[in-house]
Structure 1
Protein backbone atom coordinates (compact mmCIF):
# COMPACT_ATOMS: atom_id res chain seq x y z
CA UNK A 1 0.00 0.00 0.00
CA UNK A 2 1.97 2.96 -1.28
CA UNK A 3 1.05 6.48 -2.23
CA UNK A 4 2.93 9.57 -3.32
CA UNK A 5 1.15 11.64 -0.67
CA UNK A 6 3.16 11.77 2.60
CA UNK A 7 0.07 12.31 4.75
CA UNK A 8 -1.70 9.32 3.29
CA UNK A 9 1.50 7.30 3.64
CA UNK A 10 1.47 8.00 7.38
CA UNK A 11 -2.21 7.13 7.62
CA UNK A 12 -1.69 3.99 5.57
CA UNK A 13 1.11 2.88 7.90
CA UNK A 14 -1.12 3.55 10.90
CA UNK A 15 -3.91 1.52 9.30
CA UNK A 16 -1.49 -1.36 8.68
CA UNK A 17 -0.49 -1.35 12.35
CA UNK A 18 -4.16 -1.44 13.35
CA UNK A 19 -4.76 -4.41 11.10
CA UNK A 20 -1.71 -6.12 12.57
CA UNK A 21 -3.23 -5.50 16.00
CA UNK A 22 -6.42 -7.22 14.94
CA UNK A 23 -8.59 -4.47 13.52
CA UNK A 24 -8.70 -5.68 9.94
CA UNK A 25 -11.58 -4.35 7.92
CA UNK A 26 -14.04 -6.76 6.28
CA UNK A 27 -12.89 -7.93 2.90
CA UNK A 28 -9.26 -6.89 3.34
CA UNK A 29 -6.72 -9.23 1.66
CA UNK A 30 -6.19 -12.44 3.55
CA UNK A 31 -2.45 -12.01 4.09
CA UNK A 32 -3.32 -9.92 7.18
CA UNK A 33 -4.09 -12.67 9.65
CA UNK A 34 -2.79 -11.52 13.06
CA UNK A 35 -4.96 -13.93 15.07
CA UNK A 36 -4.33 -17.61 15.66
CA UNK A 37 -6.63 -20.16 14.08
CA UNK A 38 -9.89 -20.86 15.88
CA UNK A 39 -8.66 -24.18 17.23
CA UNK A 40 -5.44 -22.69 18.63
CA UNK A 41 -5.07 -22.20 22.41
CA UNK A 42 -6.22 -18.84 23.71
CA UNK A 43 -8.35 -18.05 20.69
CA UNK A 44 -11.07 -15.51 21.41
CA UNK A 45 -14.05 -15.19 19.08
CA UNK A 46 -14.74 -11.75 20.55
CA UNK A 47 -11.29 -10.57 19.50
CA UNK A 48 -11.59 -12.02 16.01
CA UNK A 49 -14.80 -10.07 15.49
CA UNK A 50 -13.10 -6.74 16.20
CA UNK A 51 -13.19 -5.03 12.82
CA UNK A 52 -12.89 -1.48 11.62
CA UNK A 53 -15.24 -0.48 8.81
CA UNK A 54 -13.48 1.22 5.88
CA UNK A 55 -13.90 4.93 5.23
CA UNK A 56 -16.39 5.95 2.54
CA UNK A 57 -17.11 9.20 0.73
CA UNK A 58 -20.40 9.49 2.63
CA UNK A 59 -18.46 9.30 5.91
CA UNK A 60 -16.32 12.25 4.85
CA UNK A 61 -19.36 14.28 3.79
CA UNK A 62 -21.12 13.65 7.11
CA UNK A 63 -18.01 14.50 9.14
CA UNK A 64 -17.41 17.67 7.11
CA UNK A 65 -20.98 18.85 7.63
CA UNK A 66 -20.67 18.05 11.34
CA UNK A 67 -17.48 20.07 11.64
CA UNK A 68 -18.99 23.01 9.78
CA UNK A 69 -22.09 22.88 12.00
CA UNK A 70 -19.93 22.93 15.15
CA UNK A 71 -17.78 25.71 13.75
CA UNK A 72 -20.80 27.75 12.67
CA UNK A 73 -22.51 27.26 16.04
CA UNK A 74 -19.41 28.36 17.96
CA UNK A 75 -18.99 31.35 15.63
CA UNK A 76 -22.62 32.40 16.11
CA UNK A 77 -22.32 32.05 19.89
CA UNK A 78 -19.15 34.14 19.89
CA UNK A 79 -20.83 36.80 17.75
CA UNK A 80 -23.80 37.05 20.11
CA UNK A 81 -22.18 36.52 23.51
CA UNK A 82 -18.74 38.15 23.28
CA UNK A 83 -18.85 41.94 23.74
CA UNK A 84 -16.91 44.15 21.36
CA UNK A 85 -14.20 45.00 23.86
CA UNK A 86 -13.35 41.30 24.24
CA UNK A 87 -13.28 40.44 20.54
CA UNK A 88 -9.52 40.93 20.38
CA UNK A 89 -8.96 38.46 23.21
CA UNK A 90 -11.30 35.89 21.66
CA UNK A 91 -9.65 36.45 18.28
CA UNK A 92 -6.13 35.92 19.65
CA UNK A 93 -6.96 32.99 21.92
CA UNK A 94 -8.95 31.22 19.22
CA UNK A 95 -6.17 31.70 16.66
CA UNK A 96 -3.45 30.44 19.00
CA UNK A 97 -5.30 27.40 20.36
CA UNK A 98 -6.67 26.57 16.93
CA UNK A 99 -3.16 26.70 15.45
CA UNK A 100 -1.79 24.35 18.11
CA UNK A 101 -4.64 21.87 17.67
CA UNK A 102 -4.34 22.10 13.90
CA UNK A 103 -0.63 21.28 14.01
CA UNK A 104 -1.21 18.36 16.37
CA UNK A 105 -3.90 16.93 14.09
CA UNK A 106 -1.84 17.53 10.95
CA UNK A 107 1.30 15.80 12.21
CA UNK A 108 -0.39 13.03 14.18
CA UNK A 109 -0.14 9.55 12.70
CA UNK A 110 -3.49 8.56 14.16
CA UNK A 111 -6.95 9.99 13.53
CA UNK A 112 -8.34 11.63 16.67
CA UNK A 113 -12.05 12.59 16.37
CA UNK A 114 -12.04 14.33 19.76
CA UNK A 115 -9.26 16.70 18.69
CA UNK A 116 -10.99 17.40 15.39
CA UNK A 117 -14.24 18.27 17.18
CA UNK A 118 -12.34 20.49 19.64
CA UNK A 119 -10.62 22.21 16.71
CA UNK A 120 -13.99 22.92 15.07
CA UNK A 121 -15.31 24.63 18.19
CA UNK A 122 -12.14 26.63 18.89
CA UNK A 123 -11.85 27.68 15.27
CA UNK A 124 -15.50 28.73 15.42
CA UNK A 125 -14.68 31.12 18.26
CA UNK A 126 -11.85 32.58 16.18
CA UNK A 127 -13.95 32.90 13.01
CA UNK A 128 -16.85 34.40 14.96
CA UNK A 129 -14.65 37.06 16.55
CA UNK A 130 -12.98 37.93 13.25
CA UNK A 131 -16.30 38.07 11.41
CA UNK A 132 -17.95 40.32 13.98
CA UNK A 133 -15.00 42.72 13.91
CA UNK A 134 -15.05 42.95 10.12
CA UNK A 135 -18.84 43.27 9.97
CA UNK A 136 -18.74 46.19 12.39
CA UNK A 137 -16.37 47.98 10.02
CA UNK A 138 -17.86 46.86 6.68
CA UNK A 139 -21.59 46.24 6.66
CA UNK A 140 -22.57 43.09 4.77
CA UNK A 141 -19.00 41.90 4.23
CA UNK A 142 -19.45 38.59 6.10
CA UNK A 143 -22.32 37.40 3.91
CA UNK A 144 -20.36 38.34 0.80
CA UNK A 145 -17.33 36.41 2.05
CA UNK A 146 -19.40 33.33 2.92
CA UNK A 147 -21.09 33.29 -0.49
CA UNK A 148 -17.75 33.80 -2.23
CA UNK A 149 -16.06 31.04 -0.21
CA UNK A 150 -18.66 28.37 -0.86
CA UNK A 151 -18.98 29.52 -4.47
CA UNK A 152 -15.27 28.89 -5.01
CA UNK A 153 -15.52 25.54 -3.22
CA UNK A 154 -18.40 24.47 -5.46
CA UNK A 155 -16.47 25.48 -8.61
CA UNK A 156 -13.36 23.57 -7.48
CA UNK A 157 -15.51 20.53 -6.71
CA UNK A 158 -16.97 20.60 -10.22
CA UNK A 159 -13.57 21.11 -11.84
CA UNK A 160 -12.10 18.20 -9.92
CA UNK A 161 -15.06 15.94 -10.65
CA UNK A 162 -14.75 16.74 -14.36
CA UNK A 163 -10.99 16.02 -14.11
CA UNK A 164 -10.17 19.48 -15.42
CA UNK A 165 -7.65 19.74 -12.57
CA UNK A 166 -5.76 16.66 -11.40
CA UNK A 167 -3.64 16.15 -8.31
CA UNK A 168 -0.54 14.78 -10.00
CA UNK A 169 2.59 14.13 -7.88
CA UNK A 170 4.22 17.22 -9.40
CA UNK A 171 1.14 19.34 -8.64
CA UNK A 172 1.15 18.08 -5.04
CA UNK A 173 4.84 18.89 -4.56
CA UNK A 174 4.42 22.39 -5.98
CA UNK A 175 1.33 23.05 -3.85
CA UNK A 176 3.01 21.90 -0.65
CA UNK A 177 6.04 24.10 -1.39
CA UNK A 178 3.90 27.15 -2.22
CA UNK A 179 1.67 26.73 0.84
CA UNK A 180 4.75 26.37 3.04
CA UNK A 181 6.18 29.54 1.56
CA UNK A 182 2.96 31.48 2.06
CA UNK A 183 2.59 30.43 5.68
CA UNK A 184 6.25 31.28 6.32
CA UNK A 185 5.70 34.74 4.81
CA UNK A 186 2.60 35.26 6.97
CA UNK A 187 4.46 34.16 10.09
CA UNK A 188 7.39 36.49 9.37
CA UNK A 189 4.96 39.34 8.67
CA UNK A 190 3.21 38.69 12.00
CA UNK A 191 6.46 38.66 13.97
CA UNK A 192 7.73 41.82 12.29
CA UNK A 193 4.42 43.58 12.89
CA UNK A 194 4.85 42.95 16.62
CA UNK A 195 7.99 45.09 16.41
CA UNK A 196 6.30 47.82 14.41
CA UNK A 197 7.73 46.79 11.03
CA UNK A 198 5.25 47.10 8.15
CA UNK A 199 5.93 44.70 5.26
CA UNK A 200 2.80 45.96 3.43
CA UNK A 201 1.48 42.40 3.07
CA UNK A 202 -1.61 43.12 5.15
CA UNK A 203 -2.23 46.86 4.95
CA UNK A 204 -4.56 47.19 1.96
CA UNK A 205 -1.79 48.31 -0.39
CA UNK A 206 -1.50 46.95 -3.96
CA UNK A 207 1.05 44.46 -2.62
CA UNK A 208 -1.41 43.33 0.04
CA UNK A 209 -4.18 42.91 -2.53
CA UNK A 210 -1.86 40.86 -4.73
CA UNK A 211 -0.79 38.72 -1.77
CA UNK A 212 -4.42 38.02 -0.82
CA UNK A 213 -5.23 37.08 -4.42
CA UNK A 214 -2.35 34.61 -4.44
CA UNK A 215 -3.55 33.15 -1.13
CA UNK A 216 -7.09 32.79 -2.49
CA UNK A 217 -5.85 30.95 -5.58
CA UNK A 218 -3.65 28.62 -3.53
CA UNK A 219 -6.38 28.00 -0.93
CA UNK A 220 -8.77 27.14 -3.76
CA UNK A 221 -6.30 24.72 -5.35
CA UNK A 222 -5.68 23.08 -1.97
CA UNK A 223 -9.12 21.51 -2.29
CA UNK A 224 -7.79 19.49 -5.22
CA UNK A 225 -5.28 17.90 -2.85
CA UNK A 226 -8.01 17.27 -0.29
CA UNK A 227 -10.27 15.61 -2.86
CA UNK A 228 -7.42 13.43 -4.09
CA UNK A 229 -6.55 12.47 -0.50
CA UNK A 230 -10.13 11.41 0.11
CA UNK A 231 -10.29 9.31 -3.05
CA UNK A 232 -6.99 7.66 -2.26
CA UNK A 233 -7.96 7.07 1.37
CA UNK A 234 -11.16 5.32 0.30
CA UNK A 235 -9.22 3.24 -2.22
CA UNK A 236 -6.62 2.31 0.42
CA UNK A 237 -9.38 1.22 2.78
CA UNK A 238 -8.41 3.47 5.68
CA UNK A 239 -10.48 2.89 8.84
CA UNK A 240 -13.71 4.85 9.10
CA UNK A 241 -12.50 7.30 11.73
CA UNK A 242 -9.97 8.73 9.26
CA UNK A 243 -12.96 10.45 7.65
CA UNK A 244 -12.56 12.98 10.46
CA UNK A 245 -9.03 13.74 9.29
CA UNK A 246 -10.20 14.09 5.68
CA UNK A 247 -12.99 16.44 6.80
CA UNK A 248 -10.45 18.41 8.83
CA UNK A 249 -8.45 19.11 5.67
CA UNK A 250 -11.49 20.47 3.86
CA UNK A 251 -12.55 22.67 6.78
CA UNK A 252 -9.04 24.10 7.17
CA UNK A 253 -9.10 25.04 3.50
CA UNK A 254 -12.55 26.63 3.81
CA UNK A 255 -11.54 28.71 6.83
CA UNK A 256 -8.34 29.89 5.13
CA UNK A 257 -10.23 30.76 1.95
CA UNK A 258 -12.95 32.58 3.91
CA UNK A 259 -10.45 34.69 5.83
CA UNK A 260 -8.59 35.67 2.66
CA UNK A 261 -11.81 36.55 0.83
CA UNK A 262 -12.94 38.56 3.86
CA UNK A 263 -9.66 40.44 3.94
CA UNK A 264 -9.66 41.09 0.19
CA UNK A 265 -13.21 42.46 0.31
CA UNK A 266 -12.18 44.78 3.13
CA UNK A 267 -9.31 46.09 0.98
CA UNK A 268 -11.68 46.75 -1.91
CA UNK A 269 -14.24 48.50 0.30
CA UNK A 270 -11.86 50.76 2.14
CA UNK A 271 -8.87 50.92 4.41
CA UNK A 272 -8.38 47.84 6.60
Structure 2
Protein backbone atom coordinates (compact mmCIF):
# COMPACT_ATOMS: atom_id res chain seq x y z
CA UNK A 1 0.00 0.00 0.00
CA UNK A 2 2.80 2.41 0.87
CA UNK A 3 4.35 1.90 -2.56
CA UNK A 4 1.06 2.54 -4.35
CA UNK A 5 0.37 5.67 -2.31
CA UNK A 6 3.92 6.88 -3.01
CA UNK A 7 3.39 6.48 -6.76
CA UNK A 8 0.22 8.55 -6.52
CA UNK A 9 1.95 11.19 -4.38
CA UNK A 10 4.69 11.64 -6.94
CA UNK A 11 2.25 12.06 -9.82
CA UNK A 12 -0.01 14.51 -7.98
CA UNK A 13 2.89 16.51 -6.54
CA UNK A 14 4.42 16.87 -10.01
CA UNK A 15 1.08 18.06 -11.41
CA UNK A 16 0.57 20.59 -8.62
CA UNK A 17 4.17 21.82 -8.85
CA UNK A 18 3.80 22.44 -12.58
CA UNK A 19 0.65 24.48 -12.11
CA UNK A 20 1.84 26.38 -9.04
CA UNK A 21 5.03 27.36 -10.89
CA UNK A 22 2.77 29.43 -13.16
CA UNK A 23 2.05 31.77 -10.24
CA UNK A 24 5.62 32.83 -9.52
CA UNK A 25 6.71 33.66 -5.99
CA UNK A 26 4.65 35.76 -3.58
CA UNK A 27 3.22 35.15 -0.13
CA UNK A 28 0.01 33.54 -1.40
CA UNK A 29 1.64 31.35 -4.07
CA UNK A 30 4.37 30.29 -1.64
CA UNK A 31 1.71 29.49 0.95
CA UNK A 32 -0.16 27.37 -1.58
CA UNK A 33 2.98 25.36 -2.29
CA UNK A 34 3.59 24.94 1.42
CA UNK A 35 0.03 23.84 2.15
CA UNK A 36 -0.03 21.20 -0.60
CA UNK A 37 3.17 19.48 0.51
CA UNK A 38 3.06 16.14 2.29
CA UNK A 39 0.00 14.25 3.41
CA UNK A 40 -1.19 10.76 2.57
CA UNK A 41 -2.86 11.77 -0.75
CA UNK A 42 -5.60 9.29 0.13
CA UNK A 43 -8.28 11.26 -1.73
CA UNK A 44 -6.06 11.56 -4.78
CA UNK A 45 -5.40 7.82 -4.67
CA UNK A 46 -9.14 7.15 -4.58
CA UNK A 47 -9.59 9.31 -7.68
CA UNK A 48 -6.83 7.61 -9.65
CA UNK A 49 -7.78 4.06 -8.64
CA UNK A 50 -11.48 4.58 -9.32
CA UNK A 51 -10.46 5.98 -12.71
CA UNK A 52 -8.16 3.02 -13.44
CA UNK A 53 -11.05 0.74 -12.54
CA UNK A 54 -12.91 2.27 -15.52
CA UNK A 55 -10.01 2.35 -17.98
CA UNK A 56 -9.09 6.03 -17.48
CA UNK A 57 -5.35 6.68 -17.85
CA UNK A 58 -3.32 8.19 -15.01
CA UNK A 59 -2.31 11.10 -17.27
CA UNK A 60 -5.97 12.13 -17.31
CA UNK A 61 -7.10 11.25 -13.80
CA UNK A 62 -4.13 12.98 -12.15
CA UNK A 63 -5.80 16.34 -12.86
CA UNK A 64 -8.88 15.38 -10.86
CA UNK A 65 -6.60 13.91 -8.19
CA UNK A 66 -4.69 17.20 -7.95
CA UNK A 67 -8.01 19.05 -7.83
CA UNK A 68 -9.25 17.19 -4.76
CA UNK A 69 -5.90 17.61 -3.03
CA UNK A 70 -6.06 21.38 -3.60
CA UNK A 71 -9.58 21.41 -2.16
CA UNK A 72 -8.50 19.30 0.81
CA UNK A 73 -5.48 21.56 1.44
CA UNK A 74 -7.74 24.63 1.44
CA UNK A 75 -9.99 23.00 4.04
CA UNK A 76 -7.02 22.22 6.30
CA UNK A 77 -5.59 25.74 6.07
CA UNK A 78 -8.92 27.25 7.09
CA UNK A 79 -9.65 24.53 9.66
CA UNK A 80 -6.37 25.35 11.44
CA UNK A 81 -7.22 29.07 11.83
CA UNK A 82 -7.76 30.52 15.33
CA UNK A 83 -11.45 31.08 14.55
CA UNK A 84 -11.80 27.36 13.79
CA UNK A 85 -9.61 24.71 15.49
CA UNK A 86 -6.68 27.03 16.31
CA UNK A 87 -3.91 24.53 15.54
CA UNK A 88 -0.20 25.29 15.48
CA UNK A 89 0.97 22.14 13.69
CA UNK A 90 -0.09 20.39 10.50
CA UNK A 91 1.84 17.47 9.02
CA UNK A 92 4.64 18.13 11.49
CA UNK A 93 5.13 21.72 10.32
CA UNK A 94 3.82 25.10 11.50
CA UNK A 95 0.34 25.78 10.15
CA UNK A 96 0.06 28.42 7.42
CA UNK A 97 -1.24 31.13 9.74
CA UNK A 98 1.68 30.47 12.11
CA UNK A 99 4.32 30.50 9.36
CA UNK A 100 2.85 33.64 7.77
CA UNK A 101 -0.22 35.27 9.36
CA UNK A 102 -3.99 34.85 9.51
CA UNK A 103 -4.76 37.09 6.54
CA UNK A 104 -2.30 35.21 4.33
CA UNK A 105 -3.74 31.87 5.47
CA UNK A 106 -7.26 32.97 4.53
CA UNK A 107 -6.07 34.05 1.09
CA UNK A 108 -4.05 30.85 0.61
CA UNK A 109 -7.16 28.80 1.39
CA UNK A 110 -9.29 30.90 -0.96
CA UNK A 111 -6.75 30.51 -3.76
CA UNK A 112 -6.47 26.74 -3.27
CA UNK A 113 -10.24 26.39 -3.44
CA UNK A 114 -10.44 28.24 -6.75
CA UNK A 115 -7.41 26.31 -8.05
CA UNK A 116 -9.31 23.10 -7.38
CA UNK A 117 -12.00 24.06 -9.86
CA UNK A 118 -9.46 25.48 -12.32
CA UNK A 119 -7.65 22.14 -12.51
CA UNK A 120 -10.85 20.41 -13.66
CA UNK A 121 -11.14 22.84 -16.59
CA UNK A 122 -7.62 22.29 -17.93
CA UNK A 123 -7.42 20.91 -21.49
CA UNK A 124 -5.02 18.23 -20.28
CA UNK A 125 -7.92 16.79 -18.28
CA UNK A 126 -9.22 14.86 -21.28
CA UNK A 127 -12.80 13.91 -20.41
CA UNK A 128 -16.15 14.62 -22.00
CA UNK A 129 -17.85 17.96 -21.41
CA UNK A 130 -20.67 16.11 -19.65
CA UNK A 131 -18.22 14.43 -17.25
CA UNK A 132 -16.36 17.69 -16.62
CA UNK A 133 -19.55 19.55 -15.72
CA UNK A 134 -20.72 16.69 -13.50
CA UNK A 135 -17.40 16.69 -11.62
CA UNK A 136 -17.41 20.47 -11.20
CA UNK A 137 -20.99 20.53 -9.92
CA UNK A 138 -20.57 17.57 -7.58
CA UNK A 139 -17.32 19.01 -6.18
CA UNK A 140 -19.09 22.31 -5.46
CA UNK A 141 -21.80 20.38 -3.62
CA UNK A 142 -19.37 18.14 -1.72
CA UNK A 143 -17.20 21.03 -0.58
CA UNK A 144 -19.92 23.60 0.13
CA UNK A 145 -22.94 24.13 2.32
CA UNK A 146 -24.35 20.71 1.40
CA UNK A 147 -21.15 18.91 2.39
CA UNK A 148 -17.83 19.85 3.96
CA UNK A 149 -18.68 23.42 4.96
CA UNK A 150 -21.92 22.23 6.53
CA UNK A 151 -19.99 19.62 8.49
CA UNK A 152 -17.55 22.24 9.76
CA UNK A 153 -20.47 24.45 10.83
CA UNK A 154 -22.06 21.49 12.62
CA UNK A 155 -18.75 20.79 14.36
CA UNK A 156 -18.43 24.38 15.56
CA UNK A 157 -22.05 24.43 16.78
CA UNK A 158 -21.46 21.21 18.71
CA UNK A 159 -18.79 22.92 20.83
CA UNK A 160 -21.37 25.23 22.42
CA UNK A 161 -24.35 22.88 22.38
CA UNK A 162 -26.14 22.17 25.66
CA UNK A 163 -25.55 18.43 25.27
CA UNK A 164 -23.00 16.22 23.50
CA UNK A 165 -23.93 14.94 20.06
CA UNK A 166 -25.52 11.52 19.75
CA UNK A 167 -23.97 8.78 17.66
CA UNK A 168 -26.48 9.48 14.87
CA UNK A 169 -25.67 13.20 14.95
CA UNK A 170 -21.91 12.76 14.93
CA UNK A 171 -22.18 10.25 12.10
CA UNK A 172 -24.13 12.80 10.03
CA UNK A 173 -21.62 15.53 10.92
CA UNK A 174 -18.62 13.48 9.86
CA UNK A 175 -20.28 12.30 6.66
CA UNK A 176 -20.42 15.97 5.73
CA UNK A 177 -17.12 17.25 7.13
CA UNK A 178 -14.87 14.35 6.13
CA UNK A 179 -16.95 11.94 4.10
CA UNK A 180 -18.21 14.27 1.37
CA UNK A 181 -14.80 14.78 -0.27
CA UNK A 182 -13.95 11.08 0.15
CA UNK A 183 -17.20 10.17 -1.62
CA UNK A 184 -16.45 12.60 -4.46
CA UNK A 185 -12.97 11.10 -4.84
CA UNK A 186 -14.11 7.49 -4.93
CA UNK A 187 -16.87 8.18 -7.45
CA UNK A 188 -14.77 10.43 -9.73
CA UNK A 189 -13.51 7.60 -11.93
CA UNK A 190 -17.01 6.37 -12.68
CA UNK A 191 -18.11 9.93 -13.47
CA UNK A 192 -15.17 10.40 -15.86
CA UNK A 193 -16.18 7.22 -17.68
CA UNK A 194 -19.92 8.04 -17.68
CA UNK A 195 -20.66 4.96 -15.57
CA UNK A 196 -22.91 4.29 -12.58
CA UNK A 197 -21.49 5.50 -9.24
CA UNK A 198 -23.69 3.47 -6.88
CA UNK A 199 -21.20 0.80 -5.80
CA UNK A 200 -18.31 3.23 -5.39
CA UNK A 201 -20.61 5.55 -3.46
CA UNK A 202 -21.50 2.75 -1.03
CA UNK A 203 -17.82 1.90 -0.72
CA UNK A 204 -16.89 5.51 -0.01
CA UNK A 205 -19.56 6.11 2.63
CA UNK A 206 -18.32 3.17 4.68
CA UNK A 207 -14.68 4.08 4.05
CA UNK A 208 -15.18 7.71 5.06
CA UNK A 209 -16.70 6.79 8.42
CA UNK A 210 -13.97 4.22 9.07
CA UNK A 211 -11.38 6.88 8.27
CA UNK A 212 -12.90 9.33 10.74
CA UNK A 213 -13.22 6.73 13.48
CA UNK A 214 -9.52 5.94 13.06
CA UNK A 215 -8.77 9.67 13.35
CA UNK A 216 -10.71 9.73 16.63
CA UNK A 217 -8.77 6.69 17.83
CA UNK A 218 -5.45 8.33 16.92
CA UNK A 219 -6.50 11.45 18.85
CA UNK A 220 -6.59 9.20 21.92
CA UNK A 221 -3.65 6.85 21.44
CA UNK A 222 -1.67 8.36 18.57
CA UNK A 223 1.91 9.62 18.66
CA UNK A 224 2.18 13.34 17.91
CA UNK A 225 5.62 12.80 16.33
CA UNK A 226 4.01 10.49 13.75
CA UNK A 227 0.69 12.27 13.32
CA UNK A 228 2.29 15.67 12.94
CA UNK A 229 -0.40 17.57 14.85
CA UNK A 230 -1.65 17.89 18.43
CA UNK A 231 -3.49 14.92 19.95
CA UNK A 232 -6.03 14.79 22.78
CA UNK A 233 -7.71 18.05 21.76
CA UNK A 234 -11.17 16.52 21.39
CA UNK A 235 -11.14 15.06 24.89
CA UNK A 236 -9.78 18.29 26.36
CA UNK A 237 -12.60 20.23 24.70
CA UNK A 238 -15.21 17.73 25.86
CA UNK A 239 -16.29 17.03 22.29
CA UNK A 240 -18.29 13.93 21.44
CA UNK A 241 -16.35 11.54 19.22
CA UNK A 242 -16.79 7.96 18.11
CA UNK A 243 -14.40 6.98 20.90
CA UNK A 244 -16.25 8.91 23.61
CA UNK A 245 -19.56 7.42 22.47
CA UNK A 246 -18.49 3.85 21.70
CA UNK A 247 -15.40 3.45 23.87
CA UNK A 248 -11.97 2.65 22.41
CA UNK A 249 -12.70 -1.05 21.83
CA UNK A 250 -16.14 -0.29 20.44
CA UNK A 251 -14.76 2.33 18.06
CA UNK A 252 -12.13 -0.10 16.75
CA UNK A 253 -14.78 -2.77 16.27
CA UNK A 254 -17.06 -0.35 14.41
CA UNK A 255 -14.21 0.77 12.15
CA UNK A 256 -13.34 -2.83 11.30
CA UNK A 257 -16.98 -3.57 10.50
CA UNK A 258 -17.14 -0.55 8.19
CA UNK A 259 -14.02 -1.71 6.35
CA UNK A 260 -15.68 -5.05 5.63
CA UNK A 261 -18.78 -3.17 4.46
CA UNK A 262 -16.62 -1.09 2.14
CA UNK A 263 -14.94 -4.17 0.70
CA UNK A 264 -18.29 -5.87 0.14
CA UNK A 265 -19.50 -2.86 -1.86
CA UNK A 266 -16.69 -3.51 -4.37
CA UNK A 267 -17.81 -7.07 -5.12
CA UNK A 268 -19.24 -6.19 -8.57
CA UNK A 269 -15.74 -5.14 -9.68
CA UNK A 270 -14.13 -8.46 -8.78
CA UNK A 271 -10.36 -8.72 -8.49
CA UNK A 272 -9.77 -5.45 -10.35
CA UNK A 273 -10.82 -3.57 -7.20
CA UNK A 274 -8.01 -5.15 -5.18
CA UNK A 275 -6.14 -1.84 -4.66
CA UNK A 276 -9.27 -0.19 -3.27
CA UNK A 277 -9.84 -3.12 -0.91
CA UNK A 278 -6.23 -2.77 0.26
CA UNK A 279 -6.83 0.92 0.85
CA UNK A 280 -9.86 0.15 3.00
CA UNK A 281 -7.72 -2.08 5.22
CA UNK A 282 -4.99 0.55 5.33
CA UNK A 283 -7.40 3.23 6.58
CA UNK A 284 -7.77 1.60 9.99
CA UNK A 285 -4.21 0.28 10.27
CA UNK A 286 -2.50 3.66 9.73
CA UNK A 287 -0.78 5.49 12.57
CA UNK A 288 -0.83 8.94 10.96
TM over 0.5: no
Q: Normalising by the residue count of structure 2, what TM-score does the alignment of the two structures yield?
A: 0.27
Structure-1-length-normalised TM-score: 0.29
Higher radius of gyration, 1 or 2: 1
